[in-house]
Each structure stands twice: as C-alpha cells, then as structure tokens.
Amino acid sequence: MQSLKELYKIGIGPSSSHTIGPERIAEFVLEKYPDSSFKVVLYGSLSLTGKGHGTDRVLKKVLGEKTEIIFDNSVAIKELPHPNTLDVFVYKDGTQINKIRASSVGGGSIKIDGVEFKESARVYKHSTFSDIKKYVNEKSIRLCDYVYQTEPDIKDYLMQIWSVMKNSVESGLKKSGTLPGGLNVAKKAKYIYESTDIFVRDSLLRNKLTCAYALAVAEENADNGTIVTAPTCGASGVLPAVLYYAYKNEHVSEQVIIDALATAGLIGNIVKTNASISGAECGCQAEIGTACSMAAAGIGEIYSLSVDQIECAAEVAMEHNLGLTCDPVLGLVQVPCIERNTMAAMRAFDSFCVAYYLAPMRKIPFDVIVKTMYETGKDLNHKYLETARGGIAKHYKINQKD
Ligand code: SF4
C-alpha cells in the first residue's frame, strides 16, 4: 500500500477524479512540455460528467484558456483502460509532437502511460486487513501505531490534513445561498446548525450536528472550496463530520483525532489497494461506502475499541452501503452526493455502536466485504458509474425541491 499522503490530499472540489486528478495530469504535461499548445480528449465518465464536475475548467486553468477540450462519448467504457481516461495531444508550432494517455483513478490519484511516480511506491508491507491485524496483534500495538511505525513522519502531515478538515467544516457552517451549476441547490449546513433544537436525547442532537458538519464540508466541495479527499472529494464530508463532532462536542484532543485519521486512513488505503475508491469504477459504494468505513474505524480509534471491533465497525459500514449507485444529477457533485455524506456520517456512528456490542458475534471479515464491494461495482450497469445516465440523475427534474 502507498503512503497515506497519497490517500489524503488537499485540493479544490468538486471531484477528485474529475478535477484534482486531471489537474495533476495537466501539471505533469505542462512541466514536460512548457512552451507548447494542447488539445485534450476526455472519454468515459470524464466525458459524460466532466462539464458538471468542472474538468474542462481545471484543464484550461493549467494548460491555457485556448486549450481545446473534446468530450468524446463514442468509446464504450469497457474498452477504456479506466472509466476516467483522457488523451493529451501536445503541439509545437502547430505540429503534433506527442500524445499522452492518462487516467484519473480515484481520490486524485493518476496513472500516465509509461511513467512511474515515486509517490506511488509501495510503503506498507501489508495490504490486507487480516495481515495487518495479525501483525499488530503479534506486536501488541494499535492500528494507528502501525501507521506511525511505517511512516514515522506522517503525524505532521496528518495535523495539516486535520487543519484543512476543520477549516472546511467551520467555513461551510457560515455560508448560505445556493450552489453553482444550475440546480439551485440551497446550502443547508448553516441552517441546520443554527436551527432550534427540538431534540432532547443526546443521540438525536449528535445526528443534527453530524449532519450539519457533513453538509458544511460537502457544500464547500460543491462550491469549489478547499477540502481533503477522504477518500474522494464527493465523499469528503463524512470523516471530518465525525471527527469534528468528537473534537468540538466530545472535547476529544487533537492528538487522538490524529490517531483516528491514521486508523481511518489505513481502512481507506486497504480499499484503494484491493478494490476501488472511484465512483466511475465501482459506483458510490466505493466513495461513500469507503468514507463510511473510514469514519466508523476512526470513531473506533477515538473510543479505544479493539482491533476486532474496529474491523467490525468498518465492515458493517461498508456492508450496508453495498450496491450504492453513482447517479449525480447534471453531473454535479450535489444531488444526491451532498446528502449522502450526512447519511454516511450518521451510519458511521451506528456501525461503531453495532461493533462495540456485537463484534464477537459477527463473522464477515473486512477483506471479504472489500472484495464483495469491488465485484458488485464491476457488475453495476454503466448507467450507475458516474455517467449521470441513470437513477436520480435520470428522474430528477431541475428545480424540483431537493
Ligand atoms: S453519487 Fe457518490 S460517487 Fe457519484 S459523484 Fe456523487 S458522491 Fe461521488
């Protein structure tokens, strides 16, 4: 598995696969061919939802406003190396001098034909939860300690990540108005946060606050704000919501929050390595489902659950997101994406609760559910793989109440 620095990335929303990844590809190309002009052809999900996700905007920002962007829907997704594939044609004095094929493979990670990135190097010697569990049990250490042993300098980076997550919650809570893109979706985080509490029970108050925090980050993402991929932009509100609740409302220390980020990162990394965190590849279960597992494991770390209980929390969280389709209306990361972050944040607490009590009685290993998610994703009809051709994207009428 790669460094957690490759999982948690600070970037501009709304989509890690459609904005952060293509931006990195464009920066790579520009560095290699500084005095050139470019044409970019987008395929698959990049073509079908690239407009709504802002792919053309970021490519032109890096490669120049005159760059021609072509949305090519003529190639079937199954014929592409990855559903998010693009070609960059490089020109010098009007003559084509190169063609670079690249893919944005999820969470802002990229692959470029013929290029080895040093940050993609394998850092962790284990790649499955069962192997990591065996190791930490033998050494009598916690999952976060395994991260610190493997990446001794990671704490400073995680503190930076936490700082951006905190800012995205606090910034989103202050805003009102509507989101850009044409759907006229209202920003709701501030509204729900400032609403009078009708709830008297702690768990319901926690739901309200967790929803507000998840909305705040997801709305920042949809508004092209700065967020952390956790594991992606579309699902960026889930983990910060539960961590911010623990920090702000349960007064958990920042040191413990960093431990939770480390453990949650391990879960995200296992999914990224053995399956996919890309909605274009495996549907929303790969984004929101993974974020939910990461958040459930993070809460488990905060409350010092055992390794078995943390595994169970992550497994339950993913299990009950299986089959979740990706169907963003107008190709924007707004409906249903933003609200999905709230649901997953609440589900993370529920998964933690189930695991706390029932871990010894439950049988499904996390690795099995990761494999199941991947196979389910591969079996999903392409309509549900970030193409905006099925599900809510097909049936929702613009200006309907969301
Ligand atoms: S539906 Fe899920 S996977 Fe698809 S764009 Fe929205 S958050 Fe991402």
Spacing, Cα 99 to ligand 1 middle (Å): 30
Spacing, Cα 331 to ligand 1 middle (Å): 9
> Is 129:371 a contact under the CB 8 Å cutoff?
no
> How many structural domains does the chain have?
2
98 and 152 inside one domain: no
Domain end position, chosen among 85, 112, 139: 112
d(CA 183, CA 318): 30
DSSP states of 346-370: HHHHHHHHHHHHHGGG----HHHHH
Nearest-atom number in ligand 1 for the CA of 280 is 3
d(CA 370, CA 366): 6
Question: Residue 400: is its pLDDT beyond 60?
Answer: no
280 and 144 inside one domain: yes
279 lines ligand 1 (CB under 6 A): yes
Spacing, Cα 179 to ligand 1 middle (Å): 16
d(CA 254, CA 30): 39
The CATH number given to whatever domain includes residue 81 is 3.30.1330.90
Q: Which of 323, 336, 10, 38 shows the shortest CA–CA distance to 162?
A: 10
313 and 356 inside one domain: yes
Pairing of strands 85-92, 95-106: antiparallel
Per-residue model confidence (pLDDT) at position 199:
65
d(CA 6, CA 229): 10
Best mutation site among 287, 292, 389 for ligand 1, i.e. most ligand atoms within 8 A of its Cβ? 287
What percent of the chain stands above pLDDT 90?
92
177 and 204 inside one domain: yes
181 and 260 inside one domain: yes
- Residues constituting the chain: 402
Question: Residue 150: is its pLDDT beyond 70?
Answer: yes
Domain end position, chosen among 57, 78, 112: 112
287 lines ligand 1 (CB under 6 A): yes
239 and 105 inside one domain: no
174 and 236 inside one domain: yes
Q: Which of 67, 21, 71 shows the shortest CA–CA distance to 44?
A: 71
Rounded to 5 degrees, φ, ψ at 224 are 60, 30
Domain assignment of residue 225, yes or no: yes
Confidence of residue 118 (pLDDT cuts 50, 70, 90): confident
Spacing, Cα 328 to ligand 1 middle (Å): 6
337 lines ligand 1 (CB under 6 A): yes
> Is 333:232 a contact under the CB 8 Å cutoff?
no
Confidence of residue 401 (pLDDT cuts 50, 70, 90): low
Per-residue model confidence (pLDDT) at position 159:
98
131: helix, strand or coil: helix
Count H helices, E strands: the chain? 17, 7
Domain assignment of residue 5, yes or no: no
312 and 388 inside one domain: yes
The model's pLDDT over 64-95, given as tens digits with 9 standing for 90+, comes to 999 999 999 999 988 999 999 999 999 999 99
205 and 314 inside one domain: yes
d(CA 63, CA 130): 44
- What is the rounded radius of gyration, in angstroms, for the C-alpha atoms of the chain? 20
d(CA 374, CA 145): 28
Question: Residue 380: is its pLDDT beyond 60?
Answer: yes
d(CA 329, CA 177): 19
Domain end position, chosen among 112, 143, 161: 112
Domain assignment of residue 345, yes or no: yes
- What the block records as the tokens of 278 is 């890309």
Enumerate residues 6+ apart whose C-beta is below 8 A from 149.
141
Enumerate residues 6+ apart whose C-beta is below 8 A from 282.
275, 276, 373, 374, 376, 377, 378, 380, 385
Domain extent for 44: 13-112
Q: Is the pTM of this model over 0.75?
A: yes
Best mutation site among 239, 277, 329, 333 for ligand 1, i.e. most ligand atoms within 8 A of its Cβ? 333
Domain assignment of residue 222, yes or no: yes
339 lines ligand 1 (CB under 6 A): no
Confidence of residue 117 (pLDDT cuts 50, 70, 90): confident
* Continuous segment of H or E residues that includes residue 39: strand 37-42
266 lines ligand 1 (CB under 6 A): no
333 lines ligand 1 (CB under 6 A): yes
Residue nearest to atom 4 of ligand 1 (CA): 326
- Of residues 12 and 398, the one with the higher pLDDT is 12
108 and 44 inside one domain: yes
Residue 9 CA from chain centroid, whole number: 10
Residue nearest to atom 6 of ligand 1 (CA): 337
152 and 247 inside one domain: yes
> Is 285:323 a contact under the CB 8 Å cutoff?
yes
The DSSP letter of residue 186 is: B
Spacing, Cα 72 to ligand 1 middle (Å): 21
The model's pLDDT over 173-216, given as tens digits with 9 standing for 90+, comes to 999 999 999 999 999 999 999 998 776 677 889 999 999 999 99
d(CA 340, CA 318): 14
The model's pLDDT over 333-354, given as tens digits with 9 standing for 90+, comes to 999 999 999 999 999 999 999 9
Per-residue model confidence (pLDDT) at position 51:
85
Nearest-atom number in ligand 1 for the CA of 284 is 3
Best mutation site among 326, 339, 387 for ligand 1, i.e. most ligand atoms within 8 A of its Cβ? 326
Nearest-atom number in ligand 1 for the CA of 325 is 1
Spacing, Cα 271 to ligand 1 middle (Å): 17
Spacing, Cα 120 to ligand 1 middle (Å): 24
Domain assignment of residue 7, yes or no: no
Average predicted confidence (pLDDT) for the chain: 95
Rounded to 5 degrees, φ, ψ at 332 are -90, 155
What percent of the chain stands above pLDDT 70?
98
d(CA 53, CA 18): 6
160 and 66 inside one domain: no
Best mutation site among 84, 215, 288 for ligand 1, i.e. most ligand atoms within 8 A of its Cβ? 288
